[in-house]
Amino acid sequence: AQSVAQPEDQVNVAEGNPLTVKCTYSVSGNPYLFWYVQYPNRGLQFLLKYITGDNLVKGSYGFEAEFNKSQTSFHLKKPSALVSDSALYFCAVRDKVATAGNQFYFGTGTSLTVIP
Amino acid sequence: DSGVTQTPKHLITATGQRVTLRCSPRSGDLSVYWYQQSLDQGLQFLIQYYNGEERAKGNILERFSAQQFPDLHSELNLSSLELGDSALYFCASSPSGGQVHEQYFGPGTRLTVT
């Protein structure tokens, strides 16, 4: 069965420091991977996706993510955190064998707090 | 603004009642997805429609149903409501075509069942 795990419910980082939000996945075959961000009382916003090719994917707001097939991971990173990055982050996966539509599987979310 | 609209923003109703949530996808998007977000269950995929037809089904209860109309807007019907149905309900849309597309989420409908 397809699944996504975000092992940390909460991540705290000081402003200006690098941040990492972790995600591991389990799918049959190669995955399509996504990161979304959710600000309070808002819908999810797309940050970036990995489909194929370069393992390092760059996205919106200076975020990037590294696909690691051997570790089945897709960690979200940013070199220098901003207070405005404080939000809830979701990792999602969709497998390539979309025989039953395009079902996405979301992680449970990681709450990121950037401390001034 | 994602371009996906959802109405109403808030809904308060009593147990046993029935409600309808409405979603208009981004212009040109043929796929519509419904999700339920609650504190204890996280973001749960409910159902997907593509150009009027059901394409994928997730953890949708039998008391819930959905449809997508010819103008591509979608409605999620929740009946015999229970306290546990209180949650944020999101609609998302994505384009069609051969590429793998991300989803664009609406602002959500907050349902409170009392």
Mind listing the pLDDT tens digit for each residue in A30-81?
Answer: 789 999 999 988 889 999 999 888 999 999 999 999 999 999 999 999 999 9
Map residue A6 onto helix, strand or coil.
Answer: coil
Is the pLDDT at B99 greater than 80? The verdict is no
Of B4, B35, B56, the CB nearest to A102: B56
- pLDDT value of residue B40: 73
Mind listing the pLDDT tens digit for each residue in B41-87?
Answer: 788 999 999 899 998 888 899 999 999 999 999 999 999 999 999 99
Min distance A21 CA to chain B CA atoms (Å): 17
Contact A103 B45 (CB under 8 A): yes
In chain B, which residues have their Cβ closer than 8 Å to the Cβ of A43? 2, 4, 90, 92, 105-108
Opening angle at CA B50, ends B48 and B52, nearest 5: 105
Mind listing the pLDDT tens digit for each residue in A75-116?
Answer: 999 999 999 999 999 999 986 655 555 678 899 999 999 999
Please tell me the distance from the alpha carbon of residue A100 to that of residue B43, in angstroms, as a whole number.
20
pLDDT: is A42 or A29 the higher one?
Answer: A42
Of B33, B100, B104, the CB nearest to A51: B100
Please tell me the distance from the alpha carbon of residue A85 to that of residue A111, in angstroms, as a whole number.
10
Task: Tell me the pLDDT band of A28, cut-offs 50, 70 and 90.
Answer: confident
Please tell me the distance from the alpha carbon of residue B35 to that of residue B14, in angstroms, as a whole number.
21
Over residues A12-34, the mean pLDDT reads: 92
- pLDDT value of residue A116: 95
Please tell me the distance from the alpha carbon of residue B28 to that of residue B91, in angstroms, as a whole number.
15
In chain B, which residues have their Cβ closer than 8 Å to the Cβ of A102? 31, 33, 48, 55-56, 94
- Looking from the CA of B94 toward its CB, the CA atoms found within 13 Å total 19
Please tell me the distance from the alpha carbon of residue B104 to that of residue A75, in angstroms, as a whole number.
21
First to last CA, chain B: 31
- pLDDT value of residue A97: 55
Mind listing the pLDDT tens digit for each residue in B13-34?
Answer: 999 999 999 999 999 899 999 9
In chain A, which residues have their Cβ closer than 8 Å to the Cβ of B45? 103-106
Min distance B17 CA to chain A CA atoms (Å): 25
Q: Cα–Cα distances in Å, from B51 out to A12, B5, B40?
A: 42, 17, 32
In chain A, which residues have their Cβ closer than 8 Å to the Cβ of B39? none
Closest residue in A to B53 (Cα) is A101
Contact B55 A43 (CB under 8 A): no
% of chain A residues with pLDDT over 70: 92
